[in-house]
Amino acid sequence: MEKVSRWRQRISQLRRIRGLLENRLMKPKAMRVGSVVRQYMFCGKPSCVCHRDAQKKHGPYYYLSSKEEGKSRYKYLGKATSPEVERAQNYQGFQRGIARLGKIHREVIDLLWKIGKGKMEKGDAE
């Protein structure tokens, strides 16, 4: 019985998390499809410190990678603060949220099965 109340508690907890998550996902921010790639680069000046110390490379510069007909495409987005970077990050956040929602649902279903099994009779029917 103790197990069952722990499972019920977990379901209540998941329900709260799911509610918050759904509230957020219901009001998505502007998004740009694709994933953001962050890159640091060497510059063209041979005397620049970036050529001696890899830690001092320039950047970050952001690219948007997306798949079109199975091919990866990259589009330069600019520096960290550009609105396009933000929109691409919003898209990734949205995707993660949806994936999380799926996980929560699977866990709830799992717990409900465990609880339900405790009430199922085994063996021969009358």
Is 50 an interacting residue with respect to Zn ion (CB under 5 A)? Answer: yes
In whole angstroms, give the CA distance from residue 83 to residue 31.
Answer: 10
Question: Which of 35, 93, 24 lies closest to 67 in space, CA to CA?
Answer: 35
Q: What's the min distance (Å) between Cβ of 103 and Zn ion?
A: 43
Question: Which of 45, 23, 118, 38 lies closest to 79 in space, CA to CA?
Answer: 38
Mask 57-76, x = binds Zn ion (CB under 5 A)? --------------------
Is 41 an interacting residue with respect to Zn ion (CB under 5 A)? Answer: no
Q: What's the min distance (Å) between Cβ of 81 and Zn ion?
A: 21
Q: Between 6 and 58, whose beta carbon lies closer to Zn ion?
A: 58
In whole angstroms, give the CA distance from residue 93 to residue 82.
Answer: 17
Is 48 an interacting residue with respect to Zn ion (CB under 5 A)? Answer: yes
In whole angstroms, give the CA distance from residue 111 to residue 12.
Answer: 11
Count, residues near Zn ion per rule CB under 5 A? 3
